Amino acid sequence: MGGTAQAFYGLSGAGDLIVTCYSERSRNHTVGKRLGRGESLVQITQSMRMVAEGIPLRGAPSSRRKLKIETPIIDQVYAVLYEQKKPMGALKKC
């Protein structure tokens, strides 16, 4: 889709991914922890003042089909966010 390996392996790619996953200040990290505790996406988003950029994943299935690629992790995250799949069940599928 136009990205480069150099961009991915730099601060704007892998660096951002690492901070997003592990920083207690990351909105995405916070959403993930709360989902893991059993809160629903609706409960989480209604209590947040800012949007976690990882949540708007609605276009992922159509993009995956269009690009003809497999995205097992994204598929499971989508299922947790929008299909009420339990996080532990999604984790076992990955």
CB proximity list for 69: less than 8 A, separation 6 or greater: none
Residue 81 and residue 41 in contact, taking contact as beta carbons nearer than 8 Å: yes
* Percent of the chain that is helix, strand, coil (3-state, to 5): 65, 0, 35
Predicted pLDDT of residue 68: 92
Burial class (CB in 10 A: 0-12, 13-18, 19+), 49: exposed
Q: Which amino acid is at 1?
A: M
Taking only the tens of pLDDT, the chain with its 94 residues reads 788 888 888 888 898 889 988 999 999 899 999 999 999 989 999 999 888 877 777 788 888 889 999 999 889 988 988 898 999 899 887 6
